[in-house]
Structure 1
Amino acid sequence: MLKRYFITGTDTEIGKTTIAAALLHSARQRGLTTAAVKPVAAGCERTAEGLRNDDALALLSECQPSLPYERVNPVALEAAIAPHIAASEEGATLSAELLAAGCQTVFDTNADLTLVEGAGGWRVPLNAHQTLADLAGLLSVPVVMVVGMRLGCINHALLTAEAIKADGLVLAGWVANRVDPDMSRPDENLATLKQLIAAPCLGVVPWLEQPSAGSIAAHLDISTLL
């Protein structure tokens, strides 16, 4: 089957990782093999094993069979800031080509479903000339967009969808993730998004006090991705 997708979001801190982990969880429930890669992660913590990132660890926990951490997160940066700034301060080199090579090592495992999770939104810079969109372009895989349901989400979602299309990639689907429990008119916003985004909605995730891959997976339908 070998399905591969790039996971992007309408902003940072909108649940991109938990949605990605839930998609992998859903695939595992169907008896499929799974793999994931977070090619660059900022905000890593120093441990006895080296730098570790919570998002990458969450993805790793849903990989079946398991993978070494360094394959899931080949570029780990300590500062919790924009990746290109963290890389510059920490003496690391970021390029779409370098990150694509790291992704390929995970693709080579030939899992039934492989997800590549970006950092932040679609246009997050990697260096002075490239963004994460260039990485998605090199990988040439369809995109799944996570929409953080809060004030401003319609504009952010439509601009992201337009950018994905303009970059020559296919938006395979999107997930509405309720990140603001006090959002005004959530149903009306959701209806507008469904009307204006030309891709299937894979699920609507309600506000959850303690979200987990398993609890979110119950709100997702991955059949169109498979």
Structure 2
Amino acid sequence: MGKTYFVTGTDTDAGKTVITCGLLEAARLTGLTTLALKPVSAGCHQSENGLNSALRNQDALALMEAMTLSLPYEQVNPLALEPPVAPHIAAAEAGVCITLDRLVGYCRGALMHKSDLALIEGAGGWRVPLNSREMISGLAKALNTPAILVVGMKLGCISQALLTAEAILRDGVKLAGWVANQIDPGMSRYEENFQTLKNLIPAPCLGVVPFLSDTSSGRVAGYLDISPLVAIK
């Protein structure tokens, strides 16, 4: 039976997509089939497709390229919003209603396509609103999906990471693992910060990704260990 995880981050720029694509590639290299979803995205561009124009998100397109299964764009990223702002704000401006039930339905439909590893990438951090009452974090809980936390390694990341891990566990969601992703090449006391997080985050570290000029999935995969997530073939 395949495994499904929800990928979240300490904030918007933590590198969720880069790490998600790396995890997908690491799984592919071991012979596993993979599927990835980006249920809601904000920050999309108009893409011409014949006579039609449709919104497309670069993160969702990257996931489609990295995963082994082939799904229509609309299944990978069912809710695409143009402005690069918080999803609930972008949705309100577009006259679109985002609800947790709607996202759960989209995900369950897509997950009917069986794979060894399925990754659902969130939007921003753990507590990103979908509307005035619901958060993106509710999706992981509703789907009973463990979380993977991507920590953007920079000044201040310790508090962000520990608060996020605490919120995940308080919501009753299992924290399956975390990844240290260096987004600030000049971060002071990097190793000391990493060791602090390793000691305090109650989940296995799935990888330590240095600051890279080449963030292709193949390059990133070499720094990741997916064995705690799946049974390697």
TM-score when scaled to structure 1? 0.99
Runs of 4+ deviating beyond 6 Å: none
Amino acid of the structure 1 residue aligned with 2:146: P
Paired with 1:223 and 1:210, the residues of 2 have a C-alpha distance of 24
- Is the 1:143–1:171 Cα contact (8 Å) retained in structure 2? yes
Paired with 1:225 and 1:106, the residues of 2 have a C-alpha distance of 20
| Residue 181 of structure 1: aligned partner | 185
- Is the 1:137–1:169 Cα contact (8 Å) retained in structure 2? yes
Q: 1:146 aligns with which of 122, 142, 150?
A: 150
- Is the 1:38–1:118 Cα contact (8 Å) retained in structure 2? yes
Q: 1:80 aligns with which of 75, 84, 92?
A: 84
Amino acid of the structure 2 residue aligned with 1:133: S
Superposition CA RMSD, Å: 0.7
Q: 1:207 aligns with which of 203, 206, 211?
A: 211
**Residue 105 of structure 2 is aligned to residue 101 of structure 1:** yes
Paired with 1:92 and 1:213, the residues of 2 have a C-alpha distance of 33
Q: CA deviation at 1:99?
A: 0.6
| Residue 223 of structure 2: aligned partner | 219
CA shift digits 1:121-173 (9 cap, x unpaired): 00000000000111111111100000000000000000000000000000000
**Residue 169 of structure 2 is aligned to residue 165 of structure 1:** yes
| Residue 119 of structure 1: aligned partner | 123
**Residue 61 of structure 2 is aligned to residue 57 of structure 1:** yes
| Residue 20 of structure 1: aligned partner | 20
Paired with 1:197 and 1:135, the residues of 2 have a C-alpha distance of 22
Q: CA deviation at 1:210?
A: 2.2
Amino acid of the structure 2 residue aligned with 1:26: A
Paired with 2:41 and 2:13, the residues of 1 have a C-alpha distance of 13
Q: CA deviation at 1:28?
A: 0.7
Q: Secondary structure at the match of 2:202?
A: coil
Q: 1:196 aligns with which of 185, 193, 200?
A: 200
Q: CA deviation at 1:78?
A: 0.4
Deviates more, 1:157-166 or 1:98-107: 98-107
> Unaligned stretches of 5+ in structure 2?
none
Q: CA deviation at 1:65?
A: 2.1
Q: Secondary structure at the match of 1:126?
A: coil
Amino acid of the structure 2 residue aligned with 1:67: L
> Unaligned stretches of 5+ in structure 1?
none
Paired with 2:43 and 2:210, the residues of 1 have a C-alpha distance of 27
Q: CA deviation at 1:13?
A: 1.1
| Residue 136 of structure 1: aligned partner | 140
Paired with 2:199 and 2:67, the residues of 1 have a C-alpha distance of 34
Paired with 1:47 and 1:133, the residues of 2 have a C-alpha distance of 29
Paired with 1:183 and 1:97, the residues of 2 have a C-alpha distance of 40
| Residue 43 of structure 1: aligned partner | 43
- Is the 1:52–1:76 Cα contact (8 Å) retained in structure 2? yes
Q: Secondary structure at the match of 2:121?
A: strand
